[in-house]
Structure 1
Amino acid sequence: MTSEAQTATRPAVSGVDRLRSYILELFLVGMVLVLVLAAPGFASVNNLLNVLRAVSMLGIIAFGMTAVIIAGEIDLSVGAGVALAGCIIGWVCGALTPGLGPWPAVAVGAVVAIIVGALVGTFTGKMRQWFNVPSFITTLALLTALRGIANLISGGFPIATFPKGFNFLGAGNLWGIPTPVFFFLAVFAGMSVLMKYTSFGRAIYAVGGNPEASRLSGIDVYGTKTLALAITGALTALSGILVASQIGSGNGTAATGMELNVIAAVIIGGTSLFGGKGRIWGTLLGVLFLGCINNGMVLMNVSEYWRLVVSGGIILAAVLLNQVLERGVKR
């Protein structure tokens, strides 16, 4: 094994990565202070809990997307995947409730939705491995196809077949904390451990940073990428189940454009679009950053159109900051 290959199997945490994290943390703190002063009611406990509820479904997918982007791939289909998962669990509940009962039907529907999500991610990985189709192209096609399948399942109408109490998962509270937050934190903890302390996590960094050296060191490059995409597909389905619970139905039009916010949170969190660099912790900060910005602008009655302009500007600023830091270190 060459020294280059050995280096490629270790996730490097450079001074640039630390600096990105510190800058983002400072921006987050500064932004919160500004919003506390400028946005009426921003600092209230209820509002902060609402921010956490709003970002939880987004963050669950973003943690998986972080691994995908670090591995040098991308998934543009997650918004459509959320809609598909909600329609699947709604359809299964409607079909199986008379025979199994409501909650067994929910359990079966959730398992089916998560398996389908993982299979969608696996399909993207295999298209990359067998035909060298970039994940950008495959998932761009899936973005349209999955939403079409979701609407075929639902017939173009919301599927409201869930039992009473199902909305607790997405819209309820446990010990005063929104229920989705517990899923959000569990996924954050799981992905943090996976990326930092396992051989799979080290392989993710390696294949994103130097695929050829990773191959020479014995890492299954495409297998690693496929598993990252499958995990993200499963997490997308989990988010879709929570969204369906929150809105009370499976809906083929749910989560339209969500994929852009997911990718934005990951990039704002410091993950490089070129692969090989990024942290789950940074994505957590990116998710909270977006959530606070959007919530604050709503409280300040900022026009929806200006909110889109600001969000786009933030994404561009994050990418430019990453490029400036990279060039500064290389010099």
Structure 2
Amino acid sequence: MTAMTRIHAALGRETLPLLGFLVIVILGFSALTPMFLTAGNLRSMAFQMPVLGLLTLAMLVPILSGGLNLAIIYQANISGLVLAWTLIQFGGPQAGFEAFLIGGALALLAGALSGAVIGAVVAYFGAHPILVSLAMMIFLRGLGEFATRGGDISGFPPFMNVLGHGSVWGIPVPLLVFIAAAILWHMMLARTRHGFSVYMIGSNIRAAEYAGLHTKRTLVLIYALSGVICAVAGILMAGSFNSVRVGHGEALLLVTVLACFLGGIDPFGGFGRVLPVVIALVILQALSSGLNLIGANQHLATAVWGLFLIGVMAIRHIVLVIGNRHKERKTT
């Protein structure tokens, strides 16, 4: 086994190409604007990416299992509403840290419960994940609109600002939360029985059942954990915006899917790693920030993301065809 083969085996085949493209993006925008590599812009990127990153992690594992979770945004929002409601009950701006702990626990429970319902319906009733998560999305949106009358909930204690805008040793708190979640997600997928079951279900759920894996329990846990990560994202959004409303982050849903596919997650399940997805998130954030700095319209960044994904899929197909032809020549 060559050194390059070992590196690909350790990091994943998508990692090195994505790192190369990230370097190209950084060098390109650095040449276009001197503001790109400034401390202020890098700090701004570090504060903006974590919520999208957490929501992408929430989308990642369902896709690995061969499913999808379209309810992630509203799971985050309803969890944020649960936290906000708890803080308001304990005095709003005068609420203590104990109220935050209670509200945070209830928010995580709300996220886990909504995810577990999706997983249970998928696992025990055989419904398609897209339809079930779409139904949950509609339910949570309606519930949130009913609870807030379409408005915002604000008036949080000052320490909530730390979650959205604070730093520890110069590193933004939201970024630390995302890094911790990404490490936990990597360890779960790479080193636990649950992670092995996720890949097996995504590859072939029937074969997983014949192998003795408890596929139904695994599916429930997949979507419950997805809901927990959504709740963490909702808590960070509450701290970042200093308010909670049902519509926060609506534009991020399709971007999470984009980041997963860009990071090499197989859309049919069974293959993918966390590290390439994290690099893909950095690339998307760098593209967005760079285009903003050179004065491009924000909608152009969305268009560029879509074109980029089309280009990546085309390149992957070409590489796959070339690789298959090379193997055929070797065997003949």
Q: Look up the SS of the partner of 2:151 in the other structure.
A: coil
CA distance in structure 2 between the aligned counterparts of 1:182 and 1:203, rounded to whole angstroms: 28
CA distance in structure 2 between the aligned counterparts of 1:90 and 1:173, rounded to whole angstroms: 22
Matched, 1:96 2:70: no
For residue 168 of structure 1, what is the aligned residue in structure 2?
A: 162
Q: Taking structure 1 as reference, are residues 137 and 42 closer, same or farther at Cα in structure 2, changes over 3 Å only?
A: same
Matched, 1:34 2:28: yes
For residue 206 of structure 1, what is the aligned residue in structure 2?
A: 200
Q: Taking structure 1 as reference, are residues 90 and 149 closer, same or farther at Cα in structure 2, changes over 3 Å only?
A: same
Per the TM alignment, residue 247 of structure 1 is displaced from its structure 2 partner at its CA by 0.5
Q: Taking structure 1 as reference, are residues 144 and 168 closer, same or farther at Cα in structure 2, changes over 3 Å only?
A: same
Q: 1 or 2 for the larger relative contact order (CA 8 Å, sep ≥6)?
A: 1
For residue 258 of structure 2, what is the aligned residue in structure 1?
A: 264
| Residue identity (%) | 25
CA distance in structure 2 between the aligned counterparts of 1:155 and 1:85, rounded to whole angstroms: 17
Q: Is the 8 A contact 1:270 1:322 kept in 2?
A: no
For residue 253 of structure 1, what is the aligned residue in structure 2?
A: 247
Matched, 1:77 2:71: yes
Q: 1:193 aligns with which of 187, 193, 197?
A: 187
CA distance in structure 2 between the aligned counterparts of 1:180 and 1:327, rounded to whole angstroms: 41
Per the TM alignment, residue 18 of structure 1 is displaced from its structure 2 partner at its CA by 3.8
Per the TM alignment, residue 153 of structure 1 is displaced from its structure 2 partner at its CA by 2.0
Per the TM alignment, residue 190 of structure 1 is displaced from its structure 2 partner at its CA by 0.7
Q: Deviations over 1:189-212 (max 9, x none)?
A: 111111111111111111111211
Q: Is the 8 A contact 1:89 1:250 kept in 2?
A: no
Q: Which moved more, 1:106-115 or 1:78-87?
A: 78-87
Q: Taking structure 1 as reference, are residues 118 and 320 closer, same or farther at Cα in structure 2, changes over 3 Å only?
A: farther
For residue 232 of structure 2, what is the aligned residue in structure 1?
A: 238
Per the TM alignment, residue 71 of structure 1 is displaced from its structure 2 partner at its CA by 0.9
Aligned-CA RMSD value: 2.0
For residue 182 of structure 1, what is the aligned residue in structure 2?
A: 176
For residue 130 of structure 2, what is the aligned residue in structure 1?
A: 136
Q: Is the 8 A contact 1:72 1:208 kept in 2?
A: yes
For residue 217 of structure 2, what is the aligned residue in structure 1?
A: 223
For residue 19 of structure 2, what is the aligned residue in structure 1?
A: 25
Residue segments in structure 2 that go unaligned for 5+ positions in a row: 1-6, 326-332
Matched, 1:44 2:38: yes
Q: Taking structure 1 as reference, are residues 161 and 102 closer, same or farther at Cα in structure 2, changes over 3 Å only?
A: farther
Q: Taking structure 1 as reference, are residues 323 and 228 closer, same or farther at Cα in structure 2, changes over 3 Å only?
A: farther
CA distance in structure 2 between the aligned counterparts of 1:319 and 1:53, rounded to whole angstroms: 29
Q: Is the 8 A contact 2:124 2:216 kept in 1?
A: no
Q: Deviations over 1:114-163 (max 9, x none)?
A: 11111111111111122211111111222232122222222222111311
Aligned residue type for 2:141: R
Per the TM alignment, residue 294 of structure 1 is displaced from its structure 2 partner at its CA by 0.6
Per the TM alignment, residue 232 of structure 1 is displaced from its structure 2 partner at its CA by 1.0
CA distance in structure 2 between the aligned counterparts of 1:225 and 1:39, rounded to whole angstroms: 47
For residue 284 of structure 2, what is the aligned residue in structure 1?
A: 290
Per the TM alignment, residue 84 of structure 1 is displaced from its structure 2 partner at its CA by 1.5
Q: How does 1:52-63 map onto structure 2 within 5 Å? A: 52-63=46-57
Residue segments in structure 1 that go unaligned for 5+ positions in a row: 1-12
Q: 1:116 aligns with which of 110, 120, 139?
A: 110
CA distance in structure 2 between the aligned counterparts of 1:84 and 1:155, rounded to whole angstroms: 14
CA distance in structure 1 between the aligned counterparts of 2:202 and 2:187, rounded to whole angstroms: 18
Q: Which moved more, 1:307-316 or 1:196-205?
A: 307-316
Per the TM alignment, residue 318 of structure 1 is displaced from its structure 2 partner at its CA by 2.9
CA distance in structure 2 between the aligned counterparts of 1:42 and 1:106, rounded to whole angstroms: 36
Q: Deviations over 1:218-247 (max 9, x none)?
A: 111222122111111100010000001100
CA distance in structure 2 between the aligned counterparts of 1:250 and 1:305, rounded to whole angstroms: 24
Q: Deviations over 1:264-289 (max 9, x none)?
A: 11111110101011000011111111
CA distance in structure 1 between the aligned counterparts of 2:63 and 2:324, rounded to whole angstroms: 22
Q: Is the 8 A contact 2:12 2:276 kept in 1?
A: no
Q: Taking structure 1 as reference, are residues 67 and 170 closer, same or farther at Cα in structure 2, changes over 3 Å only?
A: same
CA distance in structure 1 between the aligned counterparts of 2:70 and 2:195, rounded to whole angstroms: 22
Q: Taking structure 1 as reference, are residues 39 and 230 closer, same or farther at Cα in structure 2, changes over 3 Å only?
A: farther
Per the TM alignment, residue 262 of structure 1 is displaced from its structure 2 partner at its CA by 1.2
Aligned residue type for 1:48: L
Per the TM alignment, residue 14 of structure 1 is displaced from its structure 2 partner at its CA by 8.2
Aligned residue type for 1:283: V
Q: Is the 8 A contact 2:109 2:228 kept in 1?
A: yes
Aligned residue type for 2:19: E
For residue 330 of structure 2, what is the aligned residue in structure 1?
A: none
Q: Is the 8 A contact 1:91 1:161 kept in 2?
A: no
